[in-house]
Structure 1
């Protein structure tokens, strides 16, 4: 099970935001707690198309340091497509990555889970 952040940079006021999501809600909430993102900022249907947090780049840095995997801009769409079994969408994402010269799995930075002392 994994927590992910993407490499998008969406301006929001004076901040720059990206997305954070996970394989399970428990993992997502645990990472949000660890990096200091309030659970009230969880975005989920019907207001959002998928379960995630919009997080600042500072929080992204913390999440990556704690083991989150950095994906390309297609990471969220691929995650949702795999959840609902839309293999045609997954194939389309792979084609788009090929055109842009991105890793076909979408992973830009992967870290080992930090060791607990």
Structure 2
């Protein structure tokens, strides 16, 4: 299981933000706790888009703790794979 941080640099106030996501919600929250990101900043909980927006200093901290750096295409591929898994699981139940 893995935590990922993308290489986006989205301006927000005086910061540059990126996305942090993980293979599981538990991993995502555990990393957020380790790098000091409050749970209230969790976006799209329980969905294929579940993630935190984090500033560059938090990104650097997450990488030091083992997060994998990804680019925009890899981020899209992860979300696409999650969506496909949800659809496949729903079709199994039919």
Shorter-chain TM band: 0.7 to 0.9
- TM (norm. structure 1) is 0.68
* RMSD, aligned α-carbons: 1.9
Query: What is the number of residues matched between the two proteins?
Result: 85
> Partner of 1:67: helix, strand, or coil?
coil
- TM (norm. structure 2) is 0.84
Corresponding residue for residue 71 of structure 2: 72
The answer on 1:61 being equivalent to 2:94 is: no
Give how far 1:83 is off: 1.1
Give how far 1:22 is off: 0.2
Aligned-partner Cα distance in 1 for 2:34–2:80: 28
Larger RCO, structures 1/2 (Cα 8 Å, 6+ apart): 2
The answer on 1:30 being equivalent to 2:30 is: yes
Corresponding residue for residue 11 of structure 1: 11
Aligned-partner Cα distance in 2 for 1:74–1:52: 16
- 1:21-44: CA deviations, max 9, x gaps? 000000000000000000100000
Corresponding residue for residue 21 of structure 1: 21
> Partner of 1:8: helix, strand, or coil?
coil
Q: Which has the higher strand share?
A: 2
2:48 and 2:83 in contact (8 A); partners too: no
The answer on 1:43 being equivalent to 2:43 is: yes
> Partner of 2:77: helix, strand, or coil?
helix
> Partner of 2:72: helix, strand, or coil?
coil
Shift >4 Å, 4+ stretches: none
> Partner of 1:54: helix, strand, or coil?
strand
